[in-house]
Structure 1
Amino acid sequence: MFGCLVAGRLVQTAAQQVAEDKFVFDLPDYENINHVVVFMLGTVPFPEGMGGSVYFSYPDSNGMPVWQLLGFVTNGKPSAIFKISGLKSVRYYRVRNRHTLVFRWAEVETQDEIFMCFKTKDDMH
């Protein structure tokens, strides 16, 4: 029903269905992804008046998942490109080294994914 594309990678068309109206695509190595394309395969249209909201899940500084609404796809708008590079989560550690304040960045490890949820068109905004 859906596909997901990241530049330089193979197209993902096998979304994991986690509920009747929810699908997930895993995005390994998300730190190196700038944009992601989500699209309908054209095999199964949405019911009239329905569409799919697209969310990106990434970890906050405590490792807890954050769900960011990216946008939506519908029968009339079956694909969309989303920029996720500004959403990347990084932990910041401050370390005093003599007179210099040094910031060390360590990536938070967690499962990062694109999440699709069916909603009526009116509920997608």
Structure 2
Amino acid sequence: MIRGIRGATTVENDTEVEVMTAVELLLEEIIRNNDIDPEMVASVFFSATDDIRSVFPAKALRKFEGWTYVPVTCMQEIPVTNSLPSCIRVMLHVETTKSQREIEHVYQAGATVLRPDLSNKF
């Protein structure tokens, strides 16, 4: 079964170092909590609010060993009025035997407000 695994984080400043660090931390937790091997991954979609311009968030995934051939793309979030600024979201499409209930979605930093029922508090 292919399941979607969600995550999101925010940054204080739009710098390459800060965006890369935040995305790496987010991905590390998603991968660890869901026992993901890159061979299980069909694709990964990243989105960012329009105030994130310093780097493609997908670049962070390329730092992980074994993820070279996983299809990855970035896109811009739709600019909804009063939406969370400086936010980076990710959706991994993963082959797994886990049920929807067993999937661990990860929300970090300011993004915990998006899904407080699923958030990991930092």
**Could you say whether these structures have the same fold, taking a TM-score greater than 0.5 normalized by the shorter chain as the test?**
no
More helix by share: 2
Q: TM-score, normalised by structure 1?
A: 0.31
More strand by share: 1
Q: TM-score, normalised by structure 2?
A: 0.31
Q: Which has the higher contact order (CA 8 A, sep 6+)?
A: 2
In our comparison, the structure showing a higher alpha carbon Rg is 1
